[in-house]
Structure 1
Amino acid sequence: MKFVKLAALAVAMAFSTAEAAVITFQTGYSNAGAQGSAIEYRDVVEAAVANSSHSTVLNNYDIVSNQSLFGAGANHIAFKSTINFGLDAAGSYAFRAGVDFGNGGAVFLDGQAVAFKSSDMWWAHSYNNTNSVFSVGSQALAAGNHTLTIYGLEGCCDGGQQVQFSANGAAFQSFSADTLRLAAAVPEPETYAMMLGGLGLVGAIARRRRGKPAA
C-alpha cells in the first residue's frame, strides 16, 4: 500500500508542477496615428513588428522601453507585448498596464479585445492616472493556457512601461518569468517520465498482487 501511495503522489506532482509566464516584448517602426478600434491597433502593430528584428523575452515586465531593451530611438514606435500563462484551476483575474502610447493602443485577452483607448496615454508611473492606463476588470478564466496581448503606438518619447495582474482579488504584482507561478500548462518531458514511472509502479504492484497465491 505504501508503494501505491508513493506512485499516486508522483502522478499528482506531475500534474501540479507550475511553469512561469513567457513574456515576449516586440517593437517596430510606425508613424501611424490614433486608430479607430482595437482591431485596427492590432493590425497596424502586427504589420510593424513583422518588419522588425526587435524582439526579446523579458525576465519581468517592470518599467521597460524600446530604448532600454534595444538601444533604439524614442519616436514612431509600435509596441507588442505577448504574455503567455496558464492556470492550474479556474479563477478570477484582473490586469492593468501603465504605458506610454502617445497614439493609444489596445489589450486582447485570449484573442478578444478587452480594452481600447485612442487618446494620448502617459501614465507617469502612477495608476492614479486612470485616463492613461489600461485596466481590465475581473475576468473569469478557466484552467489551461491564456494569452494577454498589448498593442500600442508611440509618437514620442518612449517612457517606461509595466504590466501587472491580480489573482482572485489579491494585490497587483508585475508579471515575471521568475516569480509568476500561476499554472501548469503542459508538463515538461521529465514530468511525463515521472508520471509514467508512477503509473508503471502501480501496474507492477497490481500484477504482483494478482499472481500471489492465496494464504
Structure 2
Amino acid sequence: MKNFKFAALALALAAIGSANAAVITFQTGTSTAGVQSTAQAYADVVNAAVSGSTGHSVVLSSYDNVSNNSVFHAGNSNIAYKSTIDFGLTSAGTYSFRAGVDFGKGGAVFLDGQVVDFKTNDMWWGGSYSNASQYFQVSGANLSAGNHTLTIYGLEGCCDGGQQVQFAKVGEGYQSFTANTLAPVPEPETYAMLLGGLAMVGVVARRRRAA
C-alpha cells in the first residue's frame, strides 16, 4: 500500500512539474555548409548536422551568452546551431522576439513552424541591437493562448561568439528566455493526470485512517 501511495504522489508531482518551466533546447553539430538560399534549406542542413554523430543537445536554464564552447566545451568553427524554445501563454497577446547570434553564414527563425526571419549575411551582434542586419527580429506577433515554439537555425564558420534570445510583451521591455519565463500551458490530459494522482493519494490516506 505504501508503494502505491508513493506512485500516486509521484504521478501528481510529475504532472505539476511539467508546467513549471519553459523548455529551452540548445543543439549543435558540425557542418561545412555555406550560405543557404532559403529558410527551409537552413533548417534541413542544421537538422542533419545536429542529429549526426557530432551532434550535442542540452536543455538550458537560461538563454544568455550561450555558445558551443561554453556549453559543450566543443570547437569554435564549422558549427551548425539549432535552438528550440517551447513556451506558453495563459492568454492571447502580442509579443516580439529577438536573437543576438554569431552566424557567419546566416540562418533562419521559425515561429510555430512558419518562417518569421531569414538572413544570409554574416551576422555578429556583439552584444548590441543597434544594427538590424546583425540579429534576428520578430515584431508584433499576435499569439493565441496556449503553447508555441520558437526555433532558430544558423551556420557559423568561426568563431562561436556568445548568443542570446529574448522576448517582450507589447508595452514591456525585453528579457532573456529562462526556465522560469513563459512556461508551457499544461494540456488537458496533464490536468487529468494531476487530478487522478491527487485523488489516488486521497483514497490511500482515507484507507490508512480507517485501518
TM range (shorter): 0.7 to 0.9
- CA deviations 1:159-186 (Å, max 9, x no partner) are 0000000123311000000x30455233
Q: Is the CA contact (8 Å cut-off) linking 1:94 and 1:167 kept in structure 2?
A: yes
- Residue 30 and residue 53 in structure 1: after superposition, are their counterparts in 2 closer, same or farther (change >3 A)? closer
Paired with 1:175 and 1:113, the residues of 2 have a C-alpha distance of 20
Query: Aligned partners of 2:103 and 2:92: how far apart in 1?
Result: 32
Structure 2 spans left out of the alignment, 5+ residues: 1-14, 201-211
Structure 1 residue runs of 5 or longer lacking an equivalent are: 1-13, 198-215
Once the 2 structures are TM-superposed, how far is the Cα of residue 154 of structure 1 from its aligned partner? 0.2
* TM-score, normalised with respect to structure 2: 0.80
Trace 1:2-151 onto structure 2 (pairs within 5 A): 19-51=20-52, 52-151=54-153
1:190, distance to aligned residue in structure 2 (A)? 6.5
Question: In the TM superposition, what whole-angstrom CA distance separates every residue of 1:117-163 from its partner, at most 9, and x where no partner exists?
Answer: 00000001111121100000111111111000000000010000000
**Deviation at residue 191 of structure 1 after TM alignment:** 3.7
Residue 107 of structure 1 and its aligned partner are, at CA, apart by 0.1
Whether contact under 8 Å (2:86, 2:184) holds in the other structure is no
Letter in 1 for 2:195: Y
Asked whether the 8 Å contact 1:88–1:185 carries over to 2, the reply is no
Aligned to 2:108, the other structure's residue is in SS state: strand
CA contact (8 A) 1:78 1:154 kept: yes
Q: TM-score, normalised by structure 1?
A: 0.78
What residue identity is the alignment partner of 2:66? V
Aligned partner of 2:162 in structure 1 is 160
Greater mean deviation of Cα atoms: 117-126 or 52-61: 52-61
SS at match of 2:62: coil
Percent of residue pairs bearing the same amino acid type: 59
Distance in 2, Cα, partners of 1:132 & 1:181: 26
User: Number of aligned pairs?
Assistant: 182
- Asked whether the equivalents of residues 49 and 55 of structure 2 are also in contact (C-alpha less than 8 Å), the reply is no
Root mean square deviation, CA, Å: 2.2
